[in-house]
Amino acid sequence: MVGQFFAHYLDSIYTLFVIKFVFLIFYFINTSQAEDQDLCKYFKYCGGSSRSSSQSLPSSASAGSLNPSNISSVRGLGLQTIYQPKNPLSFNIVTGNGKIGALVSPTLENSFFGNRSIEIDNLLLTRKLDKIQYKNKKINLAVGIKLIDKKFLGLDIGVSVKRNPDIKKLNPGVGISARVSFLNFGAYLYQDDVKVDLANYTNPYTNISYSTTYNSSIYQEKFSVKTLTIGTKIKNLSLDFGMINTRFKFYNEDTRIMLFSSSYSCKNFLFNLALRKELSPNLDFQNNVLLVNHKKSDIYYGTEYVVNRYLMLGLQYNYFLLQEWSATLTLFI
């Protein structure tokens, strides 16, 4: 499975670039000034989080997908794996020294904490029925830097680069997050692209084949995504609201996703609960059929247990929007 993952997500020159990126960042971190390394700094649990925003999201990868500045406070070198039956293992790598952090992960398109990408409805129905994850080939590289870290004030910036091996172009992004007293804010703007095989599929709204509409059997588009977040933390409870706005030429309206997320830490446990509201022209999967419904709702919940300072285990529901259960394992050194 590990070999299939790397063959699927990384190729040739880009593979070497990713490996060099991780090791250069890790080398820089380990030669930087060291600080106290307690369990809270490694994982954000134990009743506290040092992120400037999106403190309630279940992992650095999900928080980094909403805003790369969220990974500035990562400390150490971590590997997270996500296992869900019938699908290959998913891997995320993070590293940092508490002031600068880096992330290498697949993008989270068409999953609970990611944006909605273009997908042919017939293929959507098939993979939903079979509980198969959206086949995402893209890799996300992100770096977050902490600029201000005071008691009542924090400011982080971040940059990201996404690459789709089908198109072989780099798409940049920039994010910023701030903490003022008990409130935190974040904003992130990035570019992305998509390439879709239209084959003989038909648009369900017009009953005309996509290839006829676009005069081609392949559709390719570059698009922009805007993400805004606001949240607060009250002792062990974190609450966040996020909005993802994606503008496609393929659809006649923008795709808007609203995320309401919460987390509560208790001793070695972290509990997550989130609600996703989506407004999009994509068909809605309900009761094993696709329905015309622009308003879609999904719920996510999960729990994670810190075994020791190096190991964390988790269980989550609906992370890939398949109403599925998946297991996580996170190693930190």
109 three-class SS: coil
The hierarchical CATH code for the domain 2-332 is 2.40.160.40
Amino acid at 151: K
312 three-class SS: strand
- pLDDT by residue for the chain (333 residues), tens only, comes to 444 444 444 444 444 444 444 444 444 444 443 333 333 544 443 333 556 788 889 888 889 889 999 999 888 888 899 999 989 888 899 988 888 999 999 988 999 999 998 998 888 999 999 999 998 789 999 999 999 988 889 999 999 999 998 888 899 999 999 999 889 999 999 999 999 999 888 887 788 888 888 888 999 999 999 999 999 988 889 999 999 999 898 888 889 999 999 999 888 888 999 999 999 888 888 888 888 888 999 999 999 998 888 889 999 999 999 999 999 998 888
From 239, 265, 307, select the one nearest 48 (Cα to Cα).
265
CA 23 to chain centre: 22
Q: What phi and psi values does residue 307 have, to the nearest 5 degrees? A: -70, -50
- Is 101 buried (19+), middle (13-18) or exposed (0-12) by CB count in 10 A? buried
Q: Could you give the CA distance from residue 290 to residue 282 in angstroms, rounded to a whole number? A: 9
From 136, 104, 106, 130, select the one nearest 118 (Cα to Cα).
136
- Is 42 buried (19+), middle (13-18) or exposed (0-12) by CB count in 10 A? buried
Amino acid at 310: Y
- Is 151 buried (19+), middle (13-18) or exposed (0-12) by CB count in 10 A? exposed
Q: Could you give the CA distance from residue 316 to residue 273 in angstroms, rounded to a whole number? A: 10
CA distances from 97 to 141, 236, 237, 271, 273 (A): 17, 24, 25, 26, 29
Is the CB of residue 108 less than 8 Å from the CB of residue 116?
A: no
From 49, 25, 45, 8, select the one nearest 330 (Cα to Cα).
45
